[in-house]
Structure formats: structure tokens, C-alpha cells
A and B are shown apart, each in its own frame.
Chain A
């Protein structure tokens, strides 16, 4: 399936990238999405990103909720006029017949206060199941996206469940030689759910958060915003772990999110400001703000 999507999107002009090698909550955190959504240059890319969402762990007991799963992400800048048709063609390519299944675009705007980003779009439903997040980025790092990028995020496990017709993610065939998804990941889900919810040392996590925050600032002061951005991604994940451990209240949550946002936005801002001169030279009609 991944190979089919790679073929499809490569044929439609995307560069095929590899996953970002850090723990992150969504493919959107990949620099190929966030940082590349800034600026005027056309950019078309597709890649798989493993995602970690500590609070979604269910100890391997839920048929389709996982604390670790895979997203397939496509970013198309500027968003092409036929982006919805392209997307539907990609579904057909992986074997989803839209005359058989009920495919729907249901309002789901996307906002990542953490990234100072928002966009409008949909969650795409296949027979009631969300299989893709479809977003037109309007702002990133606090800047207007000029031009707007279209982002497609496929939930690979869910799509595979449809195509293979199985009810439980752990029953997915991982290959044609009898290896199931469960054999690969079930034990991992059990242990990681336990660690996320019960075991992880919260003092250590608070400490980690503070260190990532400090390092991000250090990187920013020394004009390496990409490195700063990585620390923001780290802080964001540690924050998610703290949430899973249930040690952050609703009120505090806002304050922690604000801190992560400051880091991520600061990094994006610095990056955009650094690049702005070059972009402007190439695209005279473009301006940062």
C-alpha cells in the first residue's frame, strides 16, 4: 500500500521522503511539512511518518486505537485545483471503490496552537471511518501561508483495515507470509501504554521538558532555527507524555501549550525571517507578512 501511494504521488510530481527520526505526534511536525509550508516556493512531497500519541494507548485492547501508528503524508504547495480528484484517484489506486464505499468530506478544521498554525479542511470518511485528514494550511508559525499548501494525511492502519476487510487492527496481514500487525506491534502497544499511563517518571519528564525548552532557546540565540525546531518537537512530545500521566490540569495545560507554542513559533519565525530575503529575491510579488 505504501509503495502504491509512493508510486502514485511520485508520478504526480512529489519528492518521496523518509520519516523524520524523532518522536512526534503527527506527520505535520515533519519539517517537510511545517517549515516547507512557509515561503513562496512550490513544494510537493510525500512520506510516511510514525506517530506517537501517548493518550491514545489502549493496552492493545481497542480494535483501532493505538499509541503508535503510521501516517502517510502528502504536501502540495500551492494547492492544485484538482487536489480532491487527485486524492480520490489515490484511494482508487490502493483499492477503495468509491461507488461501493461511502466517501465523505466532513468539516474538520485543523488548528495547532503549538505550531501557531491553522487551516480549513475535512476529515475524509470511508463508511463513517475517518481515513484521511485533508487540510488547506492558512497559517504556519504565525505567518500567512503564501501560497496555501494542501496537506493530506492518510491513516495507514485504518485504510489497510478497509482494504483487507478486517475489524481489528492487530489482525491486519503485515505481509503475504502470514505475519500480522499484532505479531509486530501488540506487545509494544501493551508495554508502551503501561509506560505512558503508569510508569514514566514524571519528575524526569518535567526535567526533560525544561531541558528541551532551554536548548531550543539556545539554538535560537545562535541562529540555527531548524535545530531549535527539533527541540520544540521534543518538548511537545514530552508534554503529551505528561498529559498521559495525568499530571497536568486543564488550567496548567494552557500554560504548557503556550510554552511549546512559543518554542515552535519562535523557531518557525526565525526560519522564515532567515529565508525571507532569498524568497523575496526569487518571488518579487511575495512578502513575509
Chain B
């Protein structure tokens, strides 16, 4: 048994990449070993900022001998081919065997492959591991980089230590020769140090001030930081991400506590914590009352011969950052949010969509509408409008300019500071939520109104100007907005028809009719299209009655935008539901009914259908439906009650209201309903009765949005349809019976189809 050590030393590896690099090293090493027929036992993988190390214990000293066979050319192939095959396998022609493969005589060779010494195996593995290593970002360096094919690594690779049972495994990669020499801590250790074997690796490095085990470093930081806080009678604000990051930034971590000027505590704690964490990787502490304390903990990468200097240096940096933050905090409060909001007029939201102030105006009207229409309940419309008007104001504040991730939060602080109601301040703070799937979904009514209005406006406006996501490109995060809309609606059970909403949005727009050139620029479509689409007879007509036709074009455009947005929302909903375990075909089955633009209702229907399809009645009914649909399709059958004969009109609705039409319809329907010219068989009669009972019940239930009841009504059809197929011959010799039975099946499929389009369901 042999122990193997590999150390790849390079210049500082970014902390965030180290966990991935350890996994990659282990994966690639295993892959190489397995390819050589070696089962590596337990592997230990460590990382520091300057090295990746792998220790494999208990490797065999050589690989097992195996018997391999190789298939060659067929008998009768040109001599060249046969000789080539022999040469490749190191055998002479008389050692070849002949076997039959698919009726052809073919040469085979069988050979014993002797076990290979482990040192050869790792010798081949190392360059392969380095070559195929995948980093999130990698680079070229040095003289070799004159060619673009030079080795890539996360930062320049400095040395390779490869030892098998203490002996150097000699490899050369891109001019870098392996050996047993490495380096210790950058400053605490000088020159090269010698590694004896895998066994003394960690200890040798420890003597050179490198703790190679990243987990040990993490616990030193975790415990050291907590201890430093405790000594100052404070509590560490735990931050495991920060622990891991600091462990990735140090080889010899030393947590040190420092203090900053108490006066900075006037600044919101989130700002202080963010400044300390993001910019400086410092921990923060709380006092016994749970309030942020004027202390920070930095993690030095050495045992400085003067730690106070290190702490003081870090204090200065933090002080400068906090000074900046306080400067912004005070400066921003010299104006009210309303005054800040005026600055939004100077900021373009999108070159075709006007300024952020324009957007705010639309969102404010929409937020008010959502409340006044009772879509968002229990909110004060004035508050919703006010919150919406102020929600984006913090974008022009200095603080958010500096820390964009504080958008919303700062607006909330400033709103409270100037004494605005809590509901308004909360709405300003939280109106960006939910951001992404895991985020908290707002439920406070004013917040919901503003958040929803903001996202709907974004979607609608970008769709109008045909800026919709394609493939991986979604520069305006419209997918996220759509998902957020879905989450807001379902979480808060908000009901409205998108049609009404878009009519309102279009009204808001139409206050200023654009000129043709503005129009062309914004919507990227022209008056010509109006003519092409048959809305206007000629350009002359358009110019004469400009207002009318521009309005019409606007309407066309809005209708297109609306349909696209609803389709997009439904698509996002599908993705979201699929992730939640709802089959997409079930969603399709409901969407395919068309006309549904109330997402909450759509989802309720999908969920009822899902529950139904999980029952035995559901699956059997589906089977019955498919069978019926297949027969109808095969017969190319159009049911009598939908086929209106003898009116001589292409469009039957043209006659609606005329007496002859009504009469014909009545006759047709009577026929379909089963006023039969013969005595039906028992099962046939049973199905007719069941349909008479279930069809109106299901329809009524759907209308009243009792989708479970609709499904239950359908369930009563299951036994009759099964029995019908069992006992009744559809294709009877008697044409009257055949016709009646096909009509019956058609009626069955249509009744079922009113609840969901079962033809879309798989199974």
C-alpha cells in the first residue's frame, strides 16, 4: 500500500473558489485513478489561498494485471490495415485469432496487460489533472503565454509537489518540474521547505506557519472571533459565510478586535454591517442589549510583531468607509424623499420609456387603482399612491449611489426619519420584494400594491417596446418580475383579470398621443402596419384623422403587448409550478382552454386537476377520454349538434337571432342530447343519464370556481364510460345507432373538455 501527496502551489486563489477547487481536484484525481483501474480509498483534500493539496492513502503499489481483447479488421482486409492493427497491439500476425462477428470473419487479439507500477499511473495522472482542471475563471501568464495554448490556472502556478511513499513522482508540466520543495507562510517562513512524505506534510507546513486544513482555519476564526468579542463583553454577530471567506484568505489566521468611533452608530446598522462585511470582510458585534456595538473583528494573516499596528490600520480603513457612509446619511436627509424624487426626472429609465419619474407616475396610478378596485384589500389608496411616488426616490440619494444593494432599505429609513406613516415607510423599504424564488413575499397591503404595480408596469412597458427576454438574455430581469407577480398574486390571493388591468394601463398611456416619429422610435412599428393589418384604408386617411388612427394603432399595440405579457406570465407560472412538482401537461390542459387571465383561478384549477389525476377515477376517465377522442378522430366525426346543416350560410352566427336559425339549433341539440329513434342499450342509457347529470353540474361548478366539485362531477362519468366501451358497439351496422353513439362520445369529450383539455394530458 502506498500513500500519495500532491500539492499544487500557486499565487493567491480567490477565497470564493476554493471549495469548488477542492471538489474539482478530488473529482479529477478519482477519474484518473478509475481510468487506470485503481479504486482510490479515502482522499483528503485541503486548500489555502496559496495551495491545493490532495492526500490519497492506501493506493495499491501497482495496478492489477488484466486481460484485454481488441477487435481488428475483418479477414480479407488490406494487409496494411492488418499490419497496422498488429503493430498497435505489439503482436505478430500469427498471434491473431479469427472470430465471427455478424457473419464476418474478423481478427481479434487477446493480450495480458501486466499491472503497472503506481508511480507510472500518478505520473500520467498529474499532468492530466492540471490540464483538465476547470476554474470559474482562469488565466495565462509568463513567457509561455506568447502562445494562446499555454497552461491555464486560476493564478500563476508556482510549484508541484508529488510524493509517492516519500519518493518524488517526476513530472514536468509546461516547464514546471515536480519535486519535494514548497514554501511556507509568505512572511513567517523564508525560502523553500522540504516535504518528506504525505505523513509529515501538514506538520511541516504548520512549522512554516501554514495551517493547510481549511476547516481547522475556519474553526480558529470562528472561535477566535467569538472569544475576542467575549473578552470585550460583546457578542459576535455570527456570519458563517464570512468565516469561510476569511479562512480562504489566510494561511495563519489571527482574529483581532478593534473599535471604531461611537459616533458612527448613528448610521443605520445595516449600512455599518454591510460596509464592514462587503468591503473589509470584518465581523461586527452586538452589545448585551442586542444593539450593534462600535467594534469590528478583522482576521489578520499573520502573528504580527505589532498587532496594534494591524488593528489600527484596519480601524482607519473602516473609519474612512464609515465616514463616507455618515456623510451620505446626513447629506441625504437634508432633503425630503419628495424632493429627492424630483431628481428622478433627470434619470432615464429606458430611452424608449422615458424617465424614472415617468415610471413612478404610472406605478403610483396603478397602485392606487389596485387598491380602489378592491384587488388589494385593506389598504389606504392615498398611502399606496404616496408610497409608490416615493419608492424610487432613494435611487438618487448618495447612500444608494454608493451601496446599490441598499435600495429600498434606505428609502424606508429616510421615510421614517421624516415622519411618514409606517405603512408607507415599510412599502418603500420592501417594494422590490420578492427578489427571486426564496425571498420573502410581502403581505402588508400597501407594500403589496406598490410592489405589484412596479413589476406589472415594468413587464407591460418592456413588452410594449418589444424588449422581451430571449434565451439566456434577460437584461431587464423580466422573468424575475413575472415570477414575483405570480408569487404576489398567489400568496395574497389577489384576483383580477389582466384584461381590466391592461385597459387601465393603456388609459394611463393614451393621455399623450405620440407623433409618428416618436411612435416609430418607441414601438418600432409604423403607420404602414396599420394599413397592412386593415385598420386604416390609406396613409392619406391616417394623416387626415391622425388622432383617431394613432389611438387605434396604440390600441392594437397594447392588445399585442397584453396578450404577450399574459402568455409570458403563464409561461413563468408553468416553470414555477414545474419546480413545485406540478406536471406541465396539467397546466397546459387548463391554459389550452383559453381566455383565462386570472392567474389565481388558473392555478386553483390546475391544482384541482392535479389532485383528480392522482385518483384512480382520474386516470381511468383520462383513458376513456382518449379512447373516445381516438374513435372520433378516426371517424373524422363532427357531432350533429355542432354541425348546422341546411342554413346555407358559411358563418352560422350571421343568422343568430333569426327564427329559422333557432329552430335548426334546437333540432340539432335535441338530436345530440339523445332523443333517439331506437331503444338504447343499458350501458348507453347509463352514459346518457350520467352525462345529463354531470355535464351541467361540472359546468356550473367551473363557473362558480368550485373546481374540486367540477372534478367530482367528472368522476361520476368514469364508471359509465368504462361500461359503455365494455358493452356497446359504436360502429353498429345500423347507421342511426352509429351516428347517435358517435354523437354521444362527442358530447362526452366536450363535457369533459369544459373542465380541462384532457387531450393535452399525458398518460
Q: Give the docked Cα–Cα distance between A255 and B324 (Å).
A: 29
B249 at the A interface (CB under 8 A): yes
Contact B309 A58 (CB under 8 A): no
- For A119, A122, A162, A251, the residue with the greatest tally of chain B CB atoms inside 10 Å of its CB is A251
Cβ contact of A146, chosen from B147, B319, B346, B396, cutoff 8 A: B147
Q: Provide the bound-state CA to CA distance between A150 and B14, in Å.
A: 18
**Is B142 part of the binding interface, using a Cβ–Cβ cutoff of 8 Å?**
yes
CB of A42, distance to nearest CB on chain B (Å)? 9
Q: Which of B134-150 contact A (CB under 8 A)?
A: 137-148
Nearest-neighbour CB distance to chain A for B53, whole angstroms, equals 19
Top 5 nearest A-B pairs (CB, nearest first) are A127-B313, A107-B14, A249-B348, A128-B314, A105-B12
Tell which of A58, A100, A105, A285 touches B49, judged by Cβ atoms closer than 8 Å.
Answer: A105
Q: Is A283 an interface residue (CB 8 A)?
A: yes
Of A102, A249, A250, A252, the most chain B CB neighbours within 10 A belong to A102
**Bound complex: CA of A167 vs CA of B142, how far in Å?**
38
| Residues of B close to A218: CB separation below 8 A | none
Residues of B335-350 at the interface with A, using a CB-CB cut-off of 8 Å, are 343, 346-350
Q: Is the interface of A mostly helix, strand, loop or mixed?
A: loop
Does chain B have a CB within 8 A of A286? yes
Query: A104-128: which residues lie under 8 A (CB-CB) from chain B?
Result: 104-107, 109, 119-122, 126-128
* A65 with B141: CB separation less than 8 A: no
Binding site for B on A (CB under 8 A): 40, 58, 61-65, 78-81, 84, 88, 98-107, 109, 119-122, 126-129, 136, 138, 144-148, 150, 161-162, 167, 246-252, 255, 283, 285-286
Give min CB distance, B34 to chain A, whole Å: 32
Let me know if A249 and B347 touch, CB within 8 A.
yes
Minimum CB–CB distance for A174 against chain B, Å: 20
Who on chain A is nearest to B137 by CB? Answer: A120
Main secondary structure of the interface of B (DSSP, over half): mixed
B interface residues, tally (CB under 8 Å): 58
Q: Determine which of A126, A138, A146, A246 lies in contact with B139 in the assembled complex, contact meaning CB atoms within 8 Å.
A: A138
Does B420 reach chain A (CB closer than 8 Å)?
no
Expressed in whole angstroms, the Cα–Cα distance for A109 and B257 within the complex equals 29
Interface contacts beyond A58-B327, A63-B323, A251-B351: sample of 16 additional A-B pairs, CB < 8 Å, sorted by A: A65-B324, A78-B141, A79-B145, A99-B304, A102-B301, A103-B186, A105-B11, A106-B12, A119-B139, A128-B313, A138-B140, A146-B145, A146-B147, A161-B316, A167-B319, A251-B349
Name the contact of A81 in the complex, choosing from B140, B142, B317 (C-beta under 8 A).
B142
Contact at B301–A249, with CB atoms within 8 Å?
Answer: no
Highest count of chain A CB atoms <10 Å: which of B138, B142, B144: B142
Please list the residues of chain B having a beta carbon within 8 angstroms of any beta carbon in chain A. Answer: 11-12, 14-16, 49, 137-148, 154-156, 158, 186-188, 249, 280, 282, 298, 300-302, 304-306, 309-310, 312-314, 316-320, 323-324, 327, 343, 346-351, 355-356, 396
With A105-B49, A246-B343 as contacts: A62 and B320 at CB distance below 8 Å:
yes
The answer to whether B343 and A101 have CB atoms under 8 Å apart is no
Which residues of A have CB within 8 Å of B186?
88, 98, 103
21 intermolecular pairs with C-beta atoms under 8 Å apart:
A63-B316, A80-B142, A81-B142, A84-B11, A99-B188, A100-B306, A100-B310, A102-B300, A102-B301, A102-B302, A102-B313, A122-B12, A128-B314, A129-B316, A136-B139, A144-B148, A147-B145, A161-B316, A249-B347, A249-B349, A251-B349
A260 to B325, CA, bound (A): 31
Q: Is the CB of A78 within 8 A of B187?
A: no
Residues A104 and B323 in contact in the complex (CB < 8 Å), given A136-B156, A246-B346, A251-B348:
no
Chain B residues contacting A122 (CB-CB under 8 Å) are 12
Closest to B476 in A: A251
Asked if B146 and A101 make an inter-chain contact with CB atoms under 8 angstroms apart, the answer reads: no
Smallest beta-carbon distance B244→chain A, Å: 14
CB within 8 Å for A65 and B320 given contacts A78-B146, A122-B12, A146-B148: yes
